[in-house]
Amino acid sequence: MTPQVAILAAGMGTRLGRPFPKPLTQLATGKSIMAQQLDHITTVLGADCRITIVVGFKMDLIMEAFPEVLYAYNENYSETNTARSLARVLQLSGEGGLLWLNGDVVFDPRILGKVRDLLTAETSFVCVNTAAVGAEEVKYTVDAQGNIDQLSKTVVDGLGEAVGINYVSARDKATLLQRLRECADQDYFERGIELAIAQDGLHFLPVDISEFGCVEVDFEDDLARANTLG
């Protein structure tokens, strides 16, 4: 089955302070964050990937830069967060699971190579970095079986950070969509995952990608670190 990938890029990116969508921020490579993401996706997962970008803030700039992909529109981008954007693209997705990533993640393409077998096996997962546990980052804990138990910025004694690259299997997709619809407007999509785990028994495997570079760009120092990845 053709892989389905979504990029969540509707937000205003106010913390980085650019007058355009944050995914269009240029890296030291000369490419934008999003251009590099698309290159990695098609190189590792195949040129036939069905890619959908969720847009909102100044969406025409993204759509003009990347006319070859599909688009979903979060018209309430200024009042909502990633739970709403993910719900929108899940609702529009075709058969099969969905790999999604935040539009501001700069990552080593070998991460996609590491998770490729999990995509084939239809295993829902969250990529995590166990080498760092930042106070402002989304953190996680696991249950006795090693699956994710808690996933939020308020987790105490987190085992690592979620890096913004995730997958929901075909069998779990409808359940996750329902829980995302129950989230508050300002919730991150991780809240929907937490609800699906707690109330429906869904299993999300934490995939440790600490050996590879991965930076979610929120501030200037994040961008500087991202530019060291090459």
Apex CA 37: angle with CA 181 and CA 162, to 5°?
50
Q: Tens digit of pLDDT for each residue in 98-157? A: 999 999 999 999 999 999 999 999 999 999 999 978 878 899 999 999 999 999 999 999
pLDDT given at position 216? 93
Q: Are 106 and 214 in contact (CB under 8 A)?
A: yes
Domain ranges of the chain: 4-226
- Torsion (CA) 66, 67, 68, 71 in degrees, nearest 10: 90
pLDDT given at position 136? 80
pLDDT band of 13, cuts 50, 70, 90: confident
Token digits for 224?
């500087």
Q: For the domain 4-226, what is the CATH superfamily, name and number?
A: Spore Coat Polysaccharide Biosynthesis Protein SpsA; Chain A (3.90.550.10)
pLDDT given at position 17? 84
Task: State the DSSP string of 116-157.
Answer: HHHHHTT--EEEEETT---TTS-EEEE-TTSSEEEEETT-SS
Q: Give mean pLDDT, residues 158-171.
A: 97
Q: Tens digit of pLDDT for each residue in 27-72? A: 999 999 999 999 999 999 999 999 999 999 999 999 999 999 999 9
Q: Are 33 and 24 in contact (CB under 8 A)?
A: yes
pLDDT given at position 47? 95
